[in-house]
Amino acid sequence: MEPRVGFVGLGIMGQPMALNLVKAGFAVNCWNRTAARMEPVVQAGGLAAESPAHVAELSDITITMVRDSPDVEAVVLGRKGIIEGARAKAVLIDMSTISPQVTREIAARLKERDVQMLDAPVSGGDVGAREGTLSIMVGGEQEVFERCRPVFEALGKTITYCGPTGAGQTVKLCNQVVCGLNILAMSEGLLFGAKAGVDLRVMHQAISAGAASSWMLTNLAPKVLDRDFAPGFMVDLQQKDLKLALEAARECSATLPGTALVHQLFAALQAHGEGQEGTQALVKALERLAKVEVKA
Amino acid sequence: MEPRVGFVGLGIMGQPMALNLVKAGFAVNCWNRTAARMEPVVQAGGLAAESPAHVAELSDITITMVRDSPDVEAVVLGRKGIIEGARAKAVLIDMSTISPQVTREIAARLKERDVQMLDAPVSGGDVGAREGTLSIMVGGEQEVFERCRPVFEALGKTITYCGPTGAGQTVKLCNQVVCGLNILAMSEGLLFGAKAGVDLRVMHQAISAGAASSWMLTNLAPKVLDRDFAPGFMVDLQQKDLKLALEAARECSATLPGTALVHQLFAALQAHGEGQEGTQALVKALERLAKVEVKA
């Protein structure tokens, strides 16, 4: 029998993910702080629960997809939290991006009740969530991971088992470290080209095929040249992830000077009220420093 | 009639490029400071000249492929330099990576003698030079560029006209700025993962397909994990290019804080006598900071 799946957190990522689970044939129970966000899931055939605890009561596997570490702690360990409703042998899959250390603490609390936990943060954004093409990085016991594989396959395309509890979060944070610096690379290349007076579209085309190539250069540089700062991925969320990465790096004494710089430059965007723009807005911080506008 | 092509500078890049010109049917005259490097070109059917001036006397188009700005100045403007031998309407194509400003100065000097100049730095390394698959970024008058196109087509695959004199060099330096920060991105991701204790090959595989992807992550990270620091592209050459980029950036008031950091970290490698290693050795600077070795 298909496991019954609970879903807590129906935001821009969670709602389409829950809908994909319904589409894949799972019995889905959901809960969201803003109740209206449950309606599309209910209309598709899901069930609206009363609380995270209630979701867990109704489900074999409960997924959380919320913003940050304290939000996961609240819906799992807080009043009417998942821990109150989850039965023995149930599984919690946290697909939020949060602290690896907090993940290990929550997993230990759940284990006392014989509830298993997987950390399974994703990349691929809201497009990946809608299309079911997310990349999912999973930490926890491998046997539990294998048991939950059908659920992951309904949500993502690249599913990687990364190691013990917290390893999924750590790999996700490595991903965000690389992304942040690749965005800075793209931004400094464009800024230099703009100041030096070359045709930026020609420059972009000339360097995009070779050793300078990156997903960020291919996908975000054209947006900058069109002055399109609408979010694919929001500055505020990138900042939250870089904060988690730098905290985790401090805990294990990893030295990340470039990432620290990227974090500061994104903070400068937030100071200008641009936290809800896309991460390609990083170029604006450099533009202000150098008194130029990057456009083509 | 095919133009006669001169080639000055038969190093690790220049020698295979000259051979490709011979193979393409051009009459090639060459000169190199170390005479022995001319032998393979002569054996293939080229002609060894006495000096850069002599090369220019024998050629309609003369290519220079040397290390840095002073080397180009020496072989073009120095004693027995190209300017002494070049006839009116001849073309100099400088394929070295040098200062855009020095490029403009040399072009102005040549113009006084009615000699045209194109700056045409390349990327793609010694492999691209041997296989004739270089990416070539060209600055100068467009009409001269079109006239020289058959020569470029014998040497490279992606040939981009970038704009007036110096634009090729500027685009190449933009390329190097992006490359440098993409190497730092790859290095910080690996260092963080190593310190945090995740399986680095699993991590690399998980993040390589998505938004963190780059040529550097795909091609250099596996070398780091194998502790292979043999040069694809050497730290000393990357440093030379970043020095040119930061000098050009200063001249046009471009602010490149990340590139400055990358330049400093590469300098730390040079302090350890690692200038002849590949650019993936950047991770070693971070390893020393954080007291860890990145391997899998």
Domains of chain A as residue ranges with CATH: 5-165 (3.40.50.720), 171-290 (1.10.1040.10)
ipTM of this complex prediction, to 2 decimal places: 0.95
Confirm whether B172 is a catalytic residue.
yes
Q: How far apart are CA A41 and CA A288, in angstroms?
A: 44
DSSP letter, residue B38: G
Is residue B64 within 8 Å of residue B72, measured between CB atoms? yes
What's the confidence (pLDDT) of residue A175?
Answer: 98
What residues contact B20, with CB distance under 8 A and at least 6 apart? B129, B132, B154, B155
Find, among A207, A107, A109, the residue nearest to A164 by Cα.
A107
- Is the pLDDT reported for residue A280 higher than 90? yes
pLDDT band at A296 (very low <50, low <70, confident <90, very high): confident
Partners of A170 on chain B (C-beta within 8 Å) are 193, 196-198, 203
Q: How does DSSP assign B67-88, residue by residue?
A: SSHHHHHHHHHSTT-HHHHPPT
- Is the pLDDT reported for residue A1 higher than 80? no
What's the confidence (pLDDT) of residue B1?
Answer: 65
What's the confidence (pLDDT) of residue A272?
Answer: 97
Mutual angle of helices A167-196 and B200-208, in 10-degree steps: 50
- Using CB atoms, which residue from B175, B185, B256 is nearest to A178? B185
pLDDT band at A294 (very low <50, low <70, confident <90, very high): very high
Is residue A29 within 8 Å of residue A58, measured between CB atoms? yes
Distance from CA of A186 to the nearest CA of B (A): 6
Q: What is the mean pLDDT of chain A?
A: 97
Helix/strand/coil (H, E, C) string of chain A? CCCCEEEECCCCCHHHHHHHHHHCCCCEEEECCCHHHHHHHHHHCCEECCCHHHHHHHCCEEEECCCCHHHHHHHHHCCCCHHHHCCCCCEEEECCCCCHHHHHHHHHHHHCCCCEEEECCEECHHHHHHHCCEEEEEECCHHHHHHHHHHHHHHEEEEEEEECCCHHHHHHHHHHHHHHHHHHHHHHHHHHHHHHCCCHHHHHHHHHCCCCCEHHHHHCHHHHHCCCCCCCCEHHHHHHHHHHHHHHHHHCCCCCHHHHHHHHHHHHHHHCCCCCCEHHHHHHHHHHHHCCCCCC
The per-residue pLDDT for range A63-89, each reduced to its tens digit, is 999 999 999 999 999 999 999 999 999
Q: Which residues in chain B show pLDDT less than 50?
A: none
Interchain pair A162, B199: CB under 8 A: yes
**pTM exceeds 0.80:** yes
Contacting B residues, span 274-293, partner chain A, CB-CB under 8 Å: 286, 289-292
What's the confidence (pLDDT) of residue B72?
Answer: 98
Distance from CA of A55 to the nearest CA of B (A): 31
The per-residue pLDDT for range B123-148, each reduced to its tens digit, is 988 889 999 999 999 999 999 999 99
The per-residue pLDDT for range A92-133, each reduced to its tens digit, is 999 999 999 999 999 999 999 999 999 999 998 888 999 999
Locate the chain B residue with the closest alpha carbon to A189: B174
pLDDT band at A236 (very low <50, low <70, confident <90, very high): very high
B148: left (phi > 0), else alpha (psi -120 to 50), else beta? alpha
